[in-house]
Amino acid sequence: MNMHNQLVLDLSLHAQPTLDNFIVGRNSELIQVLREMLAAKPKERCVYLWGNSGSGRSHLLKAMVDASRQQHLSASYIRCGQDTEFAPGLDPLDVVAVDDVERLSGNAQIALFNLYNHIREGAGMLLASGALPPAQLKLRKDLITRLSWGLVFQVHGLNDEEKAQALKNHAGNRGFELPQEAVDYLLRHGRRDMPSLLAVLDALDNYSLRTKRPVTLPLLREIMQSQLFPGEE
């Protein structure tokens, strides 16, 4: 297997989103609420998350669905689009996570409104997310009202200083030191979301071990300029 194929494999094995591998940053209160929901001690059973692309809201929704399934609960993750339709049978689920609600069509908005009411009156949990706070969404007013009823959290993405520290911590946990010049290069030229940045580090570490070459800026450049990460330069 050549270097390129092996690195692709390394990326495909990158960790499933969980609450444990989410880098908390300024989101400690939100993470505490989500853990309480999983422990069946929720302050509220309907939660709306909003934040910029790459802030981690999709990570959290997927993590909650996966954790719920591990607790033998029925759970579903839905990534919204203009053609999204809510299939019959969502009402009895224990956990429903609906991502990018601002992309829903009119009929799907009605369906989400009904689902919200059913879950709020029952025993399930609804997690929803969007790019904006509820009041700024261009959705039906009755749906906006429902999304505002529950807990609303902004998911704060990491700033560059926090990302740099997270990258150094991740490298340290894998047993190698990441030079500051490599951190700076990765933040300038890499994809901006943390899962992609961490995946580059994992590939870098594995390639360093296989080739018995130390982790340096030239080694990082070699990987990022390969076919694995086209368009980053």
pLDDT confidence of residue 6: 52
Q: Are residues 149 and 168 in the same domain?
A: no
Last residue of a domain, which of 115, 133, 154? Answer: 154
Q: Are residues 65 and 123 in the same domain?
A: yes
Assessment of whether the complete model's pTM goes beyond 0.85: no
Q: How far is CA 223 from the centre of its chain?
A: 25
Does 113 fall in a domain?
yes
pLDDT confidence of residue 129: 98
- Tell me the sheet residues that pair with 128: 48, 98
Does 140 fall in a domain?
yes
pLDDT confidence of residue 94: 93
Does 232 fall in a domain?
no
Please give the residue range of the domain that contains residue 163. Answer: 3-15+158-224
> Does position 232 have pLDDT exceeding 50, yes or no?
no
Q: Are residues 134 and 36 in the same domain?
A: yes
Does 20 fall in a domain?
no
> Does position 110 have pLDDT exceeding 60, yes or no?
yes
Q: Are residues 130 and 186 in the same domain?
A: no
Q: pLDDT higher for 63 or 11?
A: 63
pLDDT 10s digits, 140-199: 999 999 999 999 999 999 999 999 999 999 999 899 999 999 999 999 998 878 888 888
pLDDT confidence of residue 2: 52
Nearest alpha carbon to residue 32 among 137, 211, 41: 41
Looking up residue 143, the CATH number of its domain turns out to be 3.40.50.300
SS3 state of residue 59: helix
Spatial CB neighbours of 99, under 8 Å, sequence gap ≥ 6: 57, 58, 61, 77, 78, 79, 80, 128, 129
> Does position 8 have pLDDT exceeding 90, yes or no?
no
Mean pLDDT computed over 52-81: 94
Q: Are residues 80 and 129 in the same domain?
A: yes
Q: Are 199 and 232 in contact (CB under 8 A)?
A: no
User: 217-224 and 194-211 helices cross at what angle (nearest 10)?
Assistant: 110
Looking up residue 206, the CATH number of its domain turns out to be 1.10.8
Domain total in the chain: 2
Q: Are residues 103 and 167 in the same domain?
A: no
Q: Are residues 131 and 184 in the same domain?
A: no
Length in residues, the chain: 233
Q: Are residues 169 and 124 in the same domain?
A: no
Q: Are 7 and 201 in contact (CB under 8 A)?
A: no
Does 22 fall in a domain?
no
Q: For a pLDDT cut of 90, what percent of the chain falls above it?
A: 67
Last residue of a domain, which of 136, 154, 172? Answer: 154
Q: Are residues 38 and 104 in the same domain?
A: yes
